[in-house]
A and B are shown apart, each in its own frame.
Chain A
Amino acid sequence: MKQHLAKKEERRAYLLLVLPAVLLYFAVIAFPMVFSIGMSVSDYSGGQIFGGSVPINYVGFSNYTRMWKDQYFWISLKNNVYIVLISIFGQIPLGFVLAYALHRNQVRRKGFFQTVIYLPSVISSVIVGILWQTIFSPYGPFTELMQYFKPGWENTLLSNPRTAMLPVLLVMLWFYTGTYFIIFLANLQKIDQEVIEAAKIDGASEWQSLRYVILPALSGVIVTSSILAISGSLKSFDLIFGMTAGNPARRTSVLALYMYDTAFRGAPKYPLANAISTFMVAFSFLLIIITKLVEKRFGGREE
């Protein structure tokens, strides 16, 4: 009898403890997710969703076809790929080099370097965007700096559709390297110093211990960072919104901004916007799975 009561109390406690979190999770994340997929195959055009006067029909994948045929979708997707590439070939290696430099060399003022290098990362990305837009604008300091070396240089970086993405990528390098730097630094400190010392005693050079001891030990972190880069790219919105708003001629748009413009600028096209966001979710899962497969194939040297 007593045991029965205890069980009952246990169940009641469980329910009350998880209830707030579960309710909020399903209201804010799970339901909207399903809602979004549902709407992406409908012809909903605004107005009341339940019991409205305009019936909502199932239209199959026509929104996805529309997206596929839209040139701005491809421009945005291409820019997202550029952002992933600059992360993987820019932020991640640079972040690693900086972390390694700080870790291996007993540089004085370690704390100072760490604080300064991570500092840009805590600023709101909208503010970063506005700041750099001014820096790169024709009236900004970048023009003056360039003209010092090359008199008469005309700054069309941000107004020329072909080059406008370049400054954006540079700013991302400036803004996000700190995050990878911190991740690498924390994980470098977890590698057993004695293993490295032992390698040194066995005659391994700095380069060899880096290549055969440290990098293999970090392969998991490199994969995590790549996943971070992929989902970070798909998330990128604020910085570009503040810096270029996707212009000139929407040439610096990214998928998130393309989705936003579709849904909230001009006549709202909610189903199309939901098709875009559903595609983004599927795409990021796909990329993450590929990254994990690559890790399985080439990595796994941590043991």
Chain B
Amino acid sequence: MKIIPQTIADPIKEKQPRRKKNLVQNEAGIVSRLFFGVVLSLFSVLSILPLVWLALSSFKTTQEFQMNRLGLPLNWFFKNYLFAWKIGNMGTLVLNSLFYTSISTIAVIFFSLAAAFAFAKIKSKATPFLYGSFVIGILLTIQSIMVPLFLMANTVNLLDTRLGVLIPYVGLGLPLGVYLCTEYVKSIHDSIVESARIDGAGYFKIFGVIILPMAKPVVSTLAILNVLTVWNEFMMINILVSRETLKSLPVGIMKFSSALSSDYGKQFAALVIGLLPLLLFYLVFRNKITEGVSAGAVKG
């Protein structure tokens, strides 16, 4: 499998030097520049138009929406949000999503990095087999283990518990995590670890004092990928959890697809609430996120 290396130049910071062009090239340049400019603008508009429409519609009452589906709201009706928040139990949903995402991300990073340190810097005959298993695991998808996971969770009484959600989330994050971390730790010079050994440092001390601080770039990539995956994960948690108090945001939002699907005002407000957290996360960390996504593209 071809791997896209993690060292990706920041697309925005990297400015190209202006080049001198002769006249003929310049004319062709103007045409193609215009063409590409139009293509880019068109697709950008198409990308956000549905979302802008959603945001505007979320301020209309359902009655108004039925009369005025495309235009600006005539009366800005903010109460949709209040109702959606209450009916949808949004406070609980957001907190649950935050809980699942943060705990599983921390666990994935820590366990992946620990295993990666051993795989990359301590010689052992077990490494090829163990590391190979993780790499193969990258290709597996959730649905191929869905039914067994459900039955296993049922057997050990982990259905409808937070732990029953967290364990699979951590497990599913590990293959990519171990892979990215191992490749990264390999790039740290052996001599750094060796000289620390000669100075008498134990492996755990080396892990805490040297590897952890040096692994910041891969940790942030991994954190971003894991946050995006876990926050948006729907299929598995939908099976493993049925109690309202344990649902995550995407599962809770489904309520607005069936029972409340014709109550447009509230549905739109609920969707906006549902997409806001990740949208903010994206706008704040956008460069890091696009970098991380292309680094993690190996996850097929």
A→B interface (CB under 8 Å): 9-11, 13-14, 16-18, 20-22, 24-25, 27-33, 35-36, 39, 48-49, 94, 97-98, 100-102, 104-107, 110-127, 129-135, 139-141, 144-145, 174, 177-179, 182-183, 185-187, 189-190, 193, 197, 200, 205-206, 220-221, 223-225, 227-228, 230-231, 234-235, 237-238, 241-242, 256, 259-260, 263-264, 270, 273-274, 277-278, 280-281, 284-285, 288, 292
Nearest opposing residue in chain A for B5, CB measure:
A190
Chain A binder among B74-82, B83-91, B215-223, B283-291: B283-291
Most buried by A among B11, B150, B239, B249: B11
Q: When the two chains form the complex, which single residue of A25, A122, A186, A284 contacts B294, counting CB atoms closer than 8 Å? A: A186
Minimum Cβ distance to chain A for residue B191 (Å)? 17
A9, A112, A115 interface centre (most CB from chain B within 10 Å): A115
Closest Cβ neighbor of A259 among chain B residues? B143
Q: Which residue of A lies closest to B234 (CB)?
A: A238
User: Residues of B contacting A94 with CB < 8 Å?
Assistant: 43
Q: Which residue of B lies closest to A28 (CB)?
A: B171
B250 and A141 within 8 A (CB): no
A260 and B290 within 8 A (CB): no
Contact residue among B4, B148, B249 (Cβ-Cβ distance under 8 Å from A39): B148
Among A49, A102, A140, contact of B155 (Cβ-Cβ < 8 Å): A49
Nearest CB in chain A: distance from B156 CB, A = 10
Chain B facing A: main interface SS: helix
| A-B contacts besides A126-B257, A193-B16, 7 pairs, CB < 8 Å | A18-B130, A25-B171, A126-B254, A174-B46, A179-B293, A186-B4, A264-B150
Is B23 at the interface (CB under 8 A from chain A)? no
Residues of B within 8 A of A17 (CB): 114-115, 117-118, 122, 203, 207
Q: Which residues of B contact A185 (CB under 8 A)?
A: 11, 290, 294
Q: For the complex, is B106 an interface residue (Cβ under 8 Å from A)?
A: no
Measured in the bound complex, the distance between the Cα atoms of B261 and A268 in whole Å is 28
Does chain A have a CB within 8 A of B167? Answer: yes
Contact A36 B278 (CB under 8 A): no
A119 → chain B closest CB, angstroms? 6
The 25 listed contacts between A and B (C-beta, < 8 Å) are: A10-B123, A13-B202, A17-B207, A21-B114, A21-B178, A25-B134, A25-B137, A28-B167, A28-B170, A28-B171, A30-B133, A39-B147, A113-B40, A120-B51, A121-B293, A122-B289, A124-B231, A124-B249, A186-B11, A187-B4, A228-B297, A238-B234, A259-B146, A264-B239, A285-B139
Q: How many whole Å from B212's CB to the nearest CB in chain A?
A: 12
- A141-B69, A206-B28 as given contacts; A135 in contact with B36, CB under 8 Å: no
Check if A131 sits within 8 Å of B300, measured CB to CB: no
> Using Cβ atoms and an 8 Å threshold, which residues of chain B touch A20?
111, 114-115
A183 to B292 Cα, complex, angstroms: 10
| Residue in B8, B155, B171, B231 whose Cβ sees the most chain A Cβ within 10 Å | B171
Least CB distance, A18 to chain B, in whole angstroms = 5
A183 near B294 (CB under 8 angstroms)? yes
CB contacts between A and B, total, < 8 Å: 323
CB–CB A119/B267 < 8 A: no
> Which residues of B are found within 8 Å of A231, using beta-carbon distances?
139, 141, 300
Known: A185-B11, A221-B4, A238-B234. A101 touches B40 (CB 8 A): yes
Contacts of B150 in A (CB 8 A): 263-264
Does B269 reach chain A (CB closer than 8 Å)?
no
Contact A124 B144 (CB under 8 A): no
A173 to B121, CA, bound (A): 43
Picked from B39, B54, B143, B283, the residue with its CB within 8 Å of the CB of A235 is: B143
Which residue of chain B has its CB nearest to the CB of A148?
B70
- The residues of A that contact B32 with a CB separation of less than 8 Å are 104-105, 206
Which of B48, B69, B133, B139 meets A140, CB within 8 Å? B69
Contacts of B114 in A (CB 8 A): 17-18, 20-21
Whole-angstrom CA separation of A259 from B142 in the bound complex: 12
Q: Across the interface, which residues of B come within 8 angstroms of A224, CB to CB?
A: 1-2, 4, 297-298, 300
Query: A28-B172, A120-B47, A120-B51 known; A36 and B144 CB under 8 Å?
Result: yes
Give the distance in Å from the alpha carbon of A142 to the alpha carbon of B141 in the complex: 34
Q: How near does chain B come to A90, taking the closest CB pair, in angstroms?
A: 12
Q: Check A178/B47 contact, CB under 8 A, given A223-B2, A270-B147.
A: yes
Distance in angstroms between the alpha carbons of A182 and B147 in the assembled complex: 34
Least CB separation from B46: chain A residue: A174
**B159-173: contact bitstring with A at CB < 8 Å (1 yes, 0 no)?**
000000001101110
* Residues on the A chain within 8 Å of B239, using CB: 264
For A193, give the chain B residue with the smallest CB separation: B16
A14 close to B124 (CB less than 8 A): yes
B186 at the binding interface (Cβ < 8 Å): no
Partner of A126, one of B18, B115, B250, B298: B250
- B47 contact set on A, CB distance < 8 A: 116-117, 119-120, 174, 178
